[in-house]
Structure 1
């Protein structure tokens, strides 16, 4: 039964997950944490972190790990968990495969058509909203600790602020080659945060 639920759930996410992998994260979290409590919010956050660090699109990686974790939390055998990963991954990419096969022949021909451009103009703000929703849903007690002046909470907030600032870039003024700023990539920031967690949490 859970395999059928995984298939339907991730097929639906793949069908409506506009905006790429990051746009899918809020949909995946809503389904696997809220609608089907296959894992906790902390589990999902770990999945997103691992998906960032491993090769491949973050949405597909998240689906793969989510499928595995969903079966693992039921006490299933590791090989059964691998099957859960396969079902989740396949069902996520299946809608895109079907749609691209159907519309690729006609898309370039009508790409500049007014109605087509209007559809994409309407989708862009939705993508931004989905990204923001994914961010806000991860701002919870499980990921930051109790909202009290504890070491876990203070460290979590500090990591959040520093990560946001450094991945966006902190201006350092002008230099011979133009504006300078300090900026760290997401993967390096995840490694740094992991080391901070080992040392202080």
Structure 2
């Protein structure tokens, strides 16, 4: 199978099963882009997540565009991004029609509540994975842990700044980047 088609189909699958969007998509993207198709290392995956938060647009779209561009240039970026958004567009249009007609049905309201709970679980799993990669350099408790005290200190400082001084994401990212340069360069 050609790389362009492989990128399209892989990110089509990610787009199809990315219920909840945002961080809820991270486990699926990691599984496909790091494990199934070793297109990225864990460190590169973590870096993409960081970069995706600093650029406009959804996380899955930014990630698919980056991976596609890196592997196959503009054609790869277009294929991966197109695959990522195609299912979402089609499903959104179909669901809009369905929910408009059935918006007060009890079963529909229960379905939405169930999907919210599933999204929270996926986001929690993603957060745990990101923390494990950042602090221990692994994505699973089954792997050998290598604790990184510098990363843990940066994590604590960011958490304190968010909680105590209510700093927003941009100052935290800038301060973390400066601290990262100090610790790692």
Q: TM-score range by the shorter chain?
A: 0.7 to 0.9
Q: CA deviation at 1:154?
A: 1.4
Gaps of 5+ in 2: 140-144
Residues 1:98 and 2:90 aligned together = yes
CA distance in 1 between partners of 2:102 and 2:114 (Å) = 17
Moved over 6 A (4+): none
Structure (1/2) with the larger helix percentage: 2
**Are the aligned partners of 2:137 and 2:146 in contact in 1 as well (CA < 8 Å)?**
no
Partner of 1:142: 137
- Classify 1:26/1:165 alpha carbon distance in 2 versus 1 (closer, same or farther; 3 Å): farther
Q: CA deviation at 1:59?
A: 2.5
Q: How does 1:44-193 map to 2 (within 5 A)?
A: 44-69=45-70, 71=71, 80-138=72-130, 139-140=132-133, 141-142=136-137, 147=146, 153-167=148-162, 169-170=163-164, 182-193=165-176
CA offsets per residue over residues 17-50 of structure 1, 9 Å max, x none? 1112221122111110111111100000110111
Partner of 1:175: none
Partner of 1:9: 10
- Classify 1:13/1:164 alpha carbon distance in 2 versus 1 (closer, same or farther; 3 Å): farther
RMSD, matched Cα:
2.0
- Classify 1:123/1:7 alpha carbon distance in 2 versus 1 (closer, same or farther; 3 Å): same
**Are the aligned partners of 1:7 and 1:91 in contact in 2 as well (CA < 8 Å)?**
yes
CA offsets per residue over residues 39-81 of structure 1, 9 Å max, x none? 1000001101110011122221122112223x1xxxxxxxx32
Count, aligned residues:
175
Q: CA deviation at 1:143?
A: 7.1
Q: CA deviation at 1:90?
A: 0.9
- Classify 1:143/1:50 alpha carbon distance in 2 versus 1 (closer, same or farther; 3 Å): farther
Gaps of 5+ in 1: 72-79, 171-181
**Are the aligned partners of 1:32 and 1:39 in contact in 2 as well (CA < 8 Å)?**
yes
CA distance in 2 between partners of 1:93 and 1:22 (Å) = 16
Partner of 2:25: 24
